[in-house]
Structure 1
Amino acid sequence: MAVVLDLLNQDPRRKVQEGVQVGAGQLRHPEKAHRPDQEVMRKPDWIRVKAPGSRAFAETRAIVKEHGLVTVCEEAGCPNIGECWEKKHATFMIMGDTCTRACAFCNVKTGMPNALDPLEPEHIADSVAKLGLSHVVITSVDRDDLADGGAQHFAQTINAIRARAPDTTIEILTPDFLRKPGALEVVVAARPDVFNHNLETVPSKYLSVRPGARYFHSIRLLQRVKELDPTIFTKSGIMVGLGEERHEVLQLMDDLRSADVDFLTIGQYLQPTRKHHRVVSFVTPEEFKSYDTIATAKGFLLVSATPLTRSSHHAGEDFARLKAARLAKG
């Protein structure tokens, strides 16, 4: 069983929409309040998914509640929640629920985060062991306020899981550790099985979509992982429909291959609220198939390119496919 859960210590009933107040006067997206409302495009038929309601979905939801967890699946309004929870998949977010950046696509709140919980790595490891997970994905908010960007906390979490659940394979989805010298080395030394860091979009869109990040820094981060430990699988993903040009996506593929990245995910951007970056276009399934074919031809070990592809979607199954692809390649 592969389950990925997100530990946020929040009440899952506290729903928020478009900057509505949460708790004691706190805004969900105070940093986005200055942004004008963006038109929300009607989703095409290929984006629609079946409403969750199966017995397995209910069982997963019960597990989440029992362990006092809140999932990224709920927090981000992921369209795959029904499918993933039916298979007992979900996602662990460490280092809190407040990000130090204000990316225009993201539904996580921005502000000054709380101090790290030193017991969090052990709590996550205990949950992984009790649930009998075969594969776990760990992600986090950006923590620019920390000297190491949270690198040591990632390493401690990986090490705690290794100690409590040695047979569980570990995938991490990390921030970029921008201007945090030595941070990446700390994480890689803990030897996760998969190191994922998303580019999110093409470089021409960084200023409007991901202003706190630097495209070529992220490329270099992924390349450096391979230099430090070639046995670790590397992975990155982007969203399309943000106004990028096709040739830009193809160049991004080449940039990732130059960094020896193994796995590429491409999914449709969906606008969380009217305060977020608008959807410029809905990319057709045929266009996604074309991206899949081209990326595979460029040499990625694995490609997932569909409208509903997300970074942690089918993570356990994809890890098995990555291993098989590496063996086949020799």
Structure 2
Amino acid sequence: MNWPSHGANPHYLTDPLQLPKVTHDFSVNVNPLGPPPWLQEKWGDFFELITNYPDPHNEDLRQTIALKEKVSAKQVLVGNGASELLSLVGRVFAGKRLLIVEPTFSEYRTIAEANQCIIDSVFLTESEGWDLPVERIKAKLHGVDLVVICNPNNPTGIAYKQSELVELLNELKKREISLLIDEAFYDFVQNEPSLIQYVNRFSHLIILRSLTKMYSIPGLRIGYLAGSEKMVERFAAHQPTWSVNALAQQVAMLCLNDYTYRQETRELIHSEKERIFPRLQNLAFTVSNTEVNYYLLGGVPSLSDTLLPFLLKNRVAARHTHNFPSLDGDYVRIAVRTQQENDYLLDLLERWVRT
């Protein structure tokens, strides 16, 4: 089967197989609560924003981010989703040597290949708890220009220890190697702190963030990165004018100030994981020790090929792992949804195991 490259848009799975429309999409890992309620209430207030050009410098939003993250606004670059910002990183590091910690978000490799980068990998393993293999990373740093790490990682959901990341940062500083940490799912984490404030100490550190996951607004496309002023200037030089629309800028500023919504979401995700993971393990599945709103389900060979068609026939989509190097389809990534949706999925999994 020609598997799609990402989650969401489940019609790319069902249409070729002539299957019914998906009603429960566990392949997309955005907030199960949907956008904050105030967004729909205020929607009409945003209409006039489309009559004028957006601020090409995203000044108000950059100031809002800088205040929240305790960095300078000159250290912040806003983009049309994290994907655009990754593309800018690819342009700046075109032709360079990259070391990617995998399995992880497939766009890192896709963008690196498009920019003729030389790519090497360090692979996470289930036997090591999918934890960051710092020593194995250090052993492969010769000639590397940029190390790419997703934290919390996608698709495992593992959040790495800050002490290990700082240890790696110090090693990379000695060797004058840059480090990109993609924190797209950081807002879902309750424990380990972000490394964003370390951009004030390490000029080779780049932190990437997405606003679409926590606030369930992927259609608006909004994200940002933080780094040294010099590094941000290099990325900004490749960015088109008016890259971020006015509506996305305004909504992002309001989202960043909604602490209550973030906390309610974290509590829901935590309680649902506590409830559903024991049932999954009782069914003989393995479940990654995730800190976020999705998990890696394993324990059965070729799980993507055997389980996903069954789920699709029952109008449920999950994320295959064929394009996550080293996973090879033996796992399925599943989002944590609402209690009702999670129970529906659990019932299907129990049926599948019995048959």
TM-score for the superposition, normalised by structure 1: 0.32
More helix by share: 2
The higher-RCO structure (CA 8 Å, 6+ apart) is 2
